């Protein structure tokens, strides 16, 4: 083979691999990405039952109900709208009423969000960024950092005793 033919083989195989990869990526992007919504965004977009999405918001205070066999029901709210969520399994360590949460799943025919994954924030100073942004946009954001400063001061004060 001449140098030119060899180069053609090389370029040809590189392009083939790239084309396959591009096809795979486009195909996967169409089918396997999951959109994020707050309850009001979900109502606005009228997401059909069965379509997977991520629901983010605050766990409404007093809404957590534990059924038998680790069934959990709670309401996710963003201040304007809310959605009931059903989940079976163990909630994350930092799941609390009144705190931010993201759950992934789909709506059923009755309009209940059946979650198969529930994610909570990582520590007490952290709110899922998607939730924080959405809440800020809808004007329900209370500046947490100011509260944290106070809390930290209080903690330091209590440990002084």
Partner 1 sequence: MIAEAGHYALALALALALVQSIVPVIGARLGDPRLMGVAASTSIGQFAFVLFAFGVLTTAYVVSDFSVVNVYENSHSAKPLIYKITGVWGNHEGSMLLWVLILALFSALVAIFGTNLPLVLRSLVLAVQGWIASAFYLFILFTSNPFLRIADPPIEGRDLNPVLQDIGLAVHPPLLYLGYVGFSVSFSFAIAALIEGRIGAAWARWVRPWTLLAWVFLTLGIAMGSYWAYYELGWGGWWFWDPVENASLMPWLAGTALLHSAVVMEKRNALKVWTILLAILTFSLSLLGTFLVRSGVLTSVHTFASDPTRGVFILAILCVFIGGSLALYAWRAPSLTQGGLFAPISREGALVLNNLLLTTACATVFVGTLYPLVLETLTSEKISVGAPFFNLTFGPLFVPLLLAVPFGPLLAWKRGDLLAAAQRLMFAGLCALLALALLMAWTGAGAVLAPLAIALAVFVIVGAMSDLIEKTGALRLAPQISLRRAAGLPRSTWGTAFAHAGLGVALLGIVCETTWNSERIAAIKPGDVVAVAGYQVKLENVVQRQGPNYREQVARFSILRDGQPIATLSPSKRAFSARGSSTTEAALLTRGLSQLYISLGDQSADGSISVRLYYKPLVVLIWFGAVMMAFGGLLSLSDRRLRVGAPKPARPARSLQPAE
Q: Which is nearer to partner 1, 20 or 61 (CB)?
A: 20
Q: Are 44 and 103 in contact (CB under 8 A)?
A: no
CB of 109 to partner 1, least distance (A): 24
Q: Which is nearer to partner 1, 21 or 61 (CB)?
A: 21
Q: Are 118 and 103 in contact (CB under 8 A)?
A: yes
Cβ-based neighbour number of residue 142 at 10 Å: 8
Q: Binding of partner 1 at residue 27 (CB under 8 A)? A: yes
Q: Which is nearer to partner 1, 8 or 61 (CB)?
A: 8
Say how many residues make up the chain.
Answer: 161
Q: Which is nearer to partner 1, 64 or 112 (CB)?
A: 64
Q: Binding of partner 1 at residue 144 (CB under 8 A)? A: no
Q: Which is nearer to partner 1, 29 or 109 (CB)?
A: 29
Tokens for 104?
Answer: 């992934």
Among residues 60, 97, 130, 138, the one that binds partner 1 under rule CB under 8 A: 130
Q: Binding of partner 1 at residue 6 (CB under 8 A)? A: yes
d(CA 44, CA 2): 63
Tokens for 50?
Answer: 């069965």
Among residues 49, 110, 118, 123, the one that binds partner 1 under rule CB under 8 A: 123
Kindly indicate which of the ranges 28-36, 77-85, 108-116 contains the residues binding partner 1, using the contact rule CB under 8 A.
Answer: 28-36
How far CA 123 is from CA of 56, 128, 144, in Å, comes to: 17, 10, 13
d(CA 135, CA 40): 11
Among residues 89, 98, 116, 136, the one that binds partner 1 under rule CB under 8 A: 89
């Amino acid at each position: 083979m001449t140098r030119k033919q060899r180069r053609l083989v090389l370029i040809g195989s590189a392009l083939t691999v790239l084309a396959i990869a591009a096809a795979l990526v486009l195909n996967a992007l169409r089918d396997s990405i999951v959109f994020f919504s707050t309850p009001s965004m979900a109502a606005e977009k009228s997401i059909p039952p069965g379509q997977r999405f991520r629901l983010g918001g605050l766990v409404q205070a007093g809404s957590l109900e534990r059924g038998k066999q680790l069934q959990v029901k709670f309401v996710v709210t963003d201040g304007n709208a809310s959605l009931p969520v059903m989940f079976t399994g163990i909630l994350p360590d930092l799941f609390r009423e009144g705190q931010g949460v993201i759950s992934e799943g789909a709506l059923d025919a009755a309009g209940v969000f059946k979650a198969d994954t529930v994610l909570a924030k990582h520590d007490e100073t952290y709110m899922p960024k998607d939730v924080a942004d959405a809440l800020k946009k809808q004007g329900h954001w209370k500046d947490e950092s100011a509260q944290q400063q106070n809390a930290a001061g209080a903690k330091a004060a209590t440990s002084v005793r």
